Structure 1
Amino acid sequence: MNWFTGGAHGEAKRLITQLTDSTKRDAAARELIQLGADSVPPLIDALQTQDLGLLLYYQQILARIPSATPLLTRTLSTAHPIIRARVVEILGISKDKTAIPALLDAVKGEYFTVRSRAALVLANIGDAQVLSALLPLLKDRESEVRNAACIAVAKFCDPSTFDDITNVLLDDPIMDVRRSAARALGETKHPAALPFLMEALRDSSWWFEQEEAAADLLIAIEKMGSVAVAPLIEALSDKEGTVRKYAAITLGRIHDPRAIDELGMTIYDLHHEVGKAAAEALAKFGAPIVDIFIEALSHPESAVRENSLVALSKIQDERVVPVLIEMLQDPVKDVQRQALLALGALRDSRAIPALEGIIANRADREMSALAKQIIENIKKTNFLL
């Protein structure tokens, strides 16, 4: 049969066509793997496909043919750049260490798509000896390569490389690349990376009109876990309000009890966003910190009282509803309204008499209408229960 179809290569081509048929795909893939080296040239030719779904099958099959590596590595220096990049991905699937020399040549090649993918594959193979070849890519002229280099270098979790990654973190002209550096350092979860991330937090270019970038940076710091608590507590005293705000947010996410006292003091920060962030962070500790907010409700600054009411609305505790009802008598209308909204969030039937009193007093029609809606919601909730 092979003689009529052009030998083993012809048989391989026939089987490759069967990969388009979902009913024959698995059997054809097994036979292609069994054919071994004879399948490799036709499969490499098939990598030119525009069908990305089929491309994945071709790549997976080639990765499972051990004898494919020599021809794949030769292709890295001769094929079209698109094919070279796809071959690099195959070597990443197989993680064949014999491909390392060819991949090291690829990271020095002329095509940036190949350089970037080769860097990632070398990192996934995991041989630390390649680090010296990856570090220069952090200064590559192409942003895609610098992105990949940050991820690749950081995968080795080698503290001696963190300073090089930080040069990208702080100085790269492209913010997306700097974000890659932050994410990469965060993924290491290595305590030695934390000072560099904290340095970025104090760099205004990371948060001035850069909310998405700042979000990546905060996640990176959060991944450091408990070792980040002390530096973040220190940052609550930073001269920049935004730094204090982000420190409070991150402490709330890490949820370490050591932060409770400092966050409790920070809710009185007169920078509105800082006080609000601290209150939201503190609320995540739940019932044990209710007294902190109850005390804050007597503060002369109405913003402090409002932030405390918002926080209390997120805590399920028997002490909360009576306090919220009392705050309906606050001299500041915005605080009264926030107390009303907090009662609405908790949907506790104990609030109904106070709410009915607001409805009866039609002097403030907005508050009256809001109280009426809250009662309806409370009754619906109790009915469902």
Structure 2
Amino acid sequence: MATIHERLRNPDAGVRRIAVIDLPYTDEEDDIAPLLVEALSDADATVRLEAAKALEGFEEPEVLAALAPLLKDEDADVRAAVAYTLAELKDPASASALLPYLGDADPEVQAAALQAVKALRVDAAFDPALAALAHADAKVRRAAVSVLGYLKKPQAISALTEVAAHDTDAEVRRVAVGALSFANDAEVSVHPALSRALADPEWQVREEAATTFAKTGSALGVPNLVRAMDDEYWQVRVKAARSLGKLKARDGVMALVEALIHPVSNLRKEAVIALGEIGDPRAITPLERTLRDPDPDVRKLSKLALTTIQMNGGAA
């Protein structure tokens, strides 16, 4: 039977491909990284693809030095596999192999490099990501926003609020709204940005804004969240209810009570949970009615909410 080395050098690309797939499981070789790196330069794209996939979890400098250039591979599947493998990096020191690609002329390469460096949270990525917010390609802008959201630098708040309000791509606006979750309510520009986002034409952006208000801890958003309880999309109402509960917003009690009869059970559940978190005794009688709700989860959550309110001194 041919050895793994012989198979890796076989003239048949199919044989080489299977050899690369088998390599992580072989007993013939203790150090497989150099062999996988060598396979990254194979003439056949399917071999390069499998090598890129097999290198997930390897963060040696020589591995990253060989992987990163394949972000520009001629084969789209290889590029995607390399981008995925690089996105799984955990060691911030690995960023040095990616930094040269953060301003690449190819939008696909730039977006992949930004995505890969995101979770590494390295300060060196801040300026390239900030500059990429002005890129013509929405994929690059989305990736740049994600990097800035992970870095959580106050210097990015102004730029993120601008993107959240005015970017032409709804997904970029949504990601920017979510990225603002690291800001606190002392940041005066955040509340107006989230308020605008709660009126965005796209419901996914409104949904994200409803969630982000609670993450910032901003009580200033409560009136907007109460209005969002009338949103035409129940998904937005669900997030608004969740945030009203987390903010313990007594001003939201009546809007939450109205949601207890909504036809979507997920919204009724969130309204019940929120009313329990807020603990306002005005919710006791409406919650008692939900003990007869057709959804068993709503009934169970109503019992818990009533117990919580009554234990904390609430009385009808």
TM-score bin (small chain)? 0.5 to 0.7
Match of 1:145 in 2: 172
Match of 1:202 in 2: 227
Is the alpha carbon distance of 1:115 and 1:42 closer, same or farther for their aligned partners in structure 2, counting shifts above 3 Å? Answer: closer
2:96 counterpart residue number: 67
Larger radius of gyration: 1
Q: Deviations over 1:185-210 (max 9, x none)?
A: 2333x1x2x4424433235751x4x2
Residue 130 of structure 1 corresponds to 156
Structure 2 unaligned residues grouped into runs of 5+:
1-33, 42-46, 311-315
Give the alignment of 1:72-221 within 5 angstroms.
Answer: 72-75=101-104, 78-79=105-106, 81-138=107-164, 139-159=166-186, 160=188, 161-169=190-198, 171-188=199-216, 190=217, 192=218, 194-203=219-228, 205-206=230-231, 208=232, 210-221=233-244
SS in 2 for 1:117: helix
Q: For residues 12 and 72 of structure 1, what CA distance do their matches in structure 2 show?
A: 20
Query: Are the equivalent residues in 2 in contact too, given 1:120–1:148 (CA < 8 A)?
Result: yes
Root mean square deviation of aligned Cα: 4.3
* Offset at residue 181 of structure 1 (A): 1.0
Deviations 1:164-191 (A, max 9, x none): 111111x211122111111222333x1x
Give 1 or 2: higher helix fraction: 1
C-alpha distance in structure 1 between counterparts of 2:126 and 2:85, whole Å = 23
Counterpart amino acid of 2:225?
A
Report the alpha carbon displacement of residue 15 of structure 1 after superposing the two structures with TM.
4.8
SS at match of 1:173: coil
Quote the offset at 1:162 in angstroms: 1.8
Specify the SS of the correspondent of 1:109. coil
For residues 220 and 268 of structure 2, the distance between their equivalents in structure 1, rounded to whole angstroms, comes to 17
Count of equivalent residues: 259
Which residue pairs with 1:242 in the alignment? Answer: 258
Q: Report what 1:383 is aligned to.
A: none
CA distance in 2, matches of 1:264, 1:41: 59
* One-letter amino acid of the structure 2 residue matched with residue 185 of structure 1: F
Give the letter aligned to residue 92 of structure 1.
Answer: K
Q: Is the 8 A contact 1:69 1:96 kept in 2?
A: no
Structure 1 length-normalised TM: 0.55
CA distance in 2, matches of 1:289, 1:101: 49
Looking at structure 2, the residues matched to 25 and 37 of structure 1 have their Cα atoms a distance apart, in angstroms, of: 13
Whole-angstrom distance in 2 between the partners of 1:287 and 1:114: 49
1:204 and 1:45 map into 2 onto residues whose CA distance is 47
Report the alpha carbon displacement of residue 119 of structure 1 after superposing the two structures with TM.
0.8
CA distance in 2, matches of 1:21, 1:129: 40
Distance 1:46 1:223, change over 3 A: farther
- Listed one character per residue, the Cα deviations across residues 291-312 of structure 1 (whole Å, up to 9, x for unaligned) are xxxxx9xxxxxxxxxxxxxxxx
Q: Which has the higher contact order (CA 8 A, sep 6+)?
A: 2
> What's the offset of the Cα at 1:147?
0.5
- Is the CA contact (8 Å cut-off) linking 1:186 and 1:223 kept in structure 2? yes
Counterpart position of 2:62: 35
- Flag the 1:244–1:196 CA change in 2: closer, same or farther, 3 A: farther
1:300-325: CA deviation from partner (whole Å, max 9, x where unpaired): xxxxxxxxxxxxxxxxxxxxxxxxxx
Alpha-carbon distance in structure 2 between the residues aligned to 1:175 and 1:266: 29
> Contact 1:150 / 1:181 at 8 angstroms: preserved in 2?
yes
Alpha-carbon distance between aligned partners in 1 of 2:293 and 2:121, rounded to the nearest angstrom: 49
- Residue identity (%): 16
Contact 2:178 2:209 in 1 (8 A): yes
